[in-house]
């Protein structure tokens, strides 16, 4: 437990340092945009993002932009991504909708598998090349803006996924979501899909 608290504090300090030092448009972390400066709310959301990473999920921060990872965690873990992209969403005995203390299913966290009729939610964890859902950052943002995954058949539009809403986020927010997803452990597709 102490080790986890130390890691969190170190990540938080790094995130705050990065966000205070970099100016808008500055480049960091292998050329990825890191413009997270200027607002106390940014620091609050980054800090909160690290606080709400589901217990049991080990982030690989490596050379990632820690401020973007924290912001991405905030966005992913407060907008309901878990509800559709984790199946089941909660561990046995941890469903808050049943009045129980929340325990997110970290073993299948964001591995997809929730079925909506003939549609199954995608695995958002990094593939073998480190790309969430097998998409580059530009492809990921394009998919969330247009509803078209470039790996799908031409003209095919994502159904169920609320891309018309998520796609209205800023480029920075979508890049932060992507950065957070790259920091997740790579997990195989959910072996037990279901409703």
**How confident is the prediction along the chain (195 residues), in pLDDT tens digits per residue?**
545 444 444 444 444 444 433 333 333 444 343 444 446 789 999 999 999 999 999 999 999 999 999 999 999 999 999 999 999 999 999 999 999 999 999 999 999 999 999 999 999 999 999 999 999 999 999 999 999 999 999 999 999 999 999 999 999 999 999 999 999 999 999 999 999
Where in the sequence is the domain holding 149, given as residue range(s)? 2-182
pLDDT of residue 30: 41
pLDDT of residue 13: 44
Rounded distance between C-alpha atoms, residue 156 and residue 147, angstroms: 8
- Percentage of residues in the chain with pLDDT exceeding 70? 80
Q: What is the reported pTM?
A: 0.81
pLDDT of residue 128: 94
pLDDT of residue 40: 75
Strands in 24-74 per DSSP E: 27-28, 32-33
pLDDT of residue 26: 31
- Which structure tokens are listed for 15? 């995130």
What tens digit of pLDDT does each residue of 27-54 get?
344 434 344 444 678 999 999 999 999 9
In a domain, 95, yes or no: yes
pLDDT of residue 167: 96
In a domain, 193, yes or no: no
User: Residue 33: CB partners within 8 Å, gap ≥ 6?
Assistant: 25, 27, 172, 175
Tally the domains of the chain. 1
In a domain, 21, yes or no: yes
Q: In 3-state terms, what secondary structure has residue 27?
A: strand
In a domain, 195, yes or no: no
pLDDT of residue 41: 81
């Amino acid at each position: 437990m102490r080790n986890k608290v130390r890691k969190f504090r170190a990540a938080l300090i790094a995130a705050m340092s990065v966000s205070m030092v970099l100016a808008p448009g500055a480049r960091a972390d292998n050329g990825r945009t890191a413009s997270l400066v200027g607002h106390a709310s940014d620091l609050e959301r980054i800090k909160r993002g690290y606080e709400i990473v589901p217990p049991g999920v080990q982030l690989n921060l490596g050379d990632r932009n820690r401020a973007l990872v924290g912001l991405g965690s905030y966005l992913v873990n407060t907008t309901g991504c878990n509800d559709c992209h984790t199946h089941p969403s909660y561990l046995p005995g941890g469903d808050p909708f049943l009045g129980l203390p929340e325990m997110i299913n970290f073993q299948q966290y964001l591995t997809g598998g929730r079925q909506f009729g003939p549609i199954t939610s995608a695995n958002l964890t990094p593939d073998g090349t480190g790309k969430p859902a097998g998409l580059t950052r530009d492809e990921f943002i394009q998919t969330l803006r247009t509803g078209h995954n470039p790996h799908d058949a031409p003209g095919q539009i994502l159904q169920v996924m609320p891309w018309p809403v998520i796609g209205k986020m800023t480029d920075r927010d979508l890049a932060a979501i992507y950065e957070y997803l790259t920091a997740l452990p790579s997990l195989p597709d959910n072996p037990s899909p279901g409703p």
